[in-house]
Amino acid sequence: MSTLTLLYDPECGLCRRVQGWLAEQPKLLELKMIPIKTDAARRRYPQLNHELTAEDLTVISDQGAVYFGPKAWLMVLWSLSRYHEWSYRLASPELLPTTRRVVSLVSQHRYQISHAVGLSR
C-alpha cells in the first residue's frame, strides 16, 4: 500500500480545515484528496456507492480497499508518521468502541461544529 485516497466533503468547513492540516503533516504514505460526488471521484471509482460517501469520510487504498467512517480516520492516522502508533492504540479492542462513537458524533454534526467554531462555508 503506497497511496490512500480520501473522499472528503468540500461543503464542510471543518473538513477543509482538517484537509489543510493533513497537507502539512509528515506522511508515511501518499494522501490524495478528492471531493465527494464529483466526476473525478465517479470516474476513479465507478462501482462505489457515492451517496454513502457523503455520510462519512471514505478512504480507499491504491488496491481498492475501502475504509469508511471511523476506520477511514484510523487509516488516515496510520498514514501520518506522528500518529502512526496512535492508530494502533485507538484501534485496540479497548478503545475502538469509543473511537467509533467520537468519530461518528463528529462526522454527523460536522456542519454544526463548523458553524459553531466559525469555519462555516
Partner 1 sequence: MTIEIATYLLYLAISIALTVWVAHTLHKSGRIFLVDVFHGNEPLADSVNHLLVVGFYLINLGYVSLALKLGYNIATAKEGIEALSVKVGTVLLVLGGMHFFNLFIFSRMRRRANMRNAPPPVYPDAFTPVQEV
Q: Which residues bind partner 1 (CB under 8 A)?
A: 1, 28, 40, 43-48, 60-68, 71, 74-75, 78, 84-85, 87-88, 90-91
Residue type, 111: Y
Kindly state the smallest distance separating residue 23's Cβ from partner 1, in Å: 21
Q: Which one, 28 or 116, has the nearer CB to partner 1?
A: 28
Q: Which one, 24 or 47, has the nearer CB to partner 1?
A: 47
Q: Which one, 21 or 47, has the nearer CB to partner 1?
A: 47
Burial 23-60 (b: 16+ CB within 10 A, else e): eeeebebebeebbbeeeebeeebeebeeeebeebbbbb
Kindly state the smallest distance separating residue 3's Cβ from partner 1, in Å: 10
Q: Which one, 46 or 118, has the nearer CB to partner 1?
A: 46
Using DSSP bridges, classify how beta strands 58-61 and 3-8 pair: parallel, antiparallel or unpaired.
Answer: antiparallel
Q: Cα separation of 6 and 21, whole Å?
A: 14
DSSP annotation of 115: H
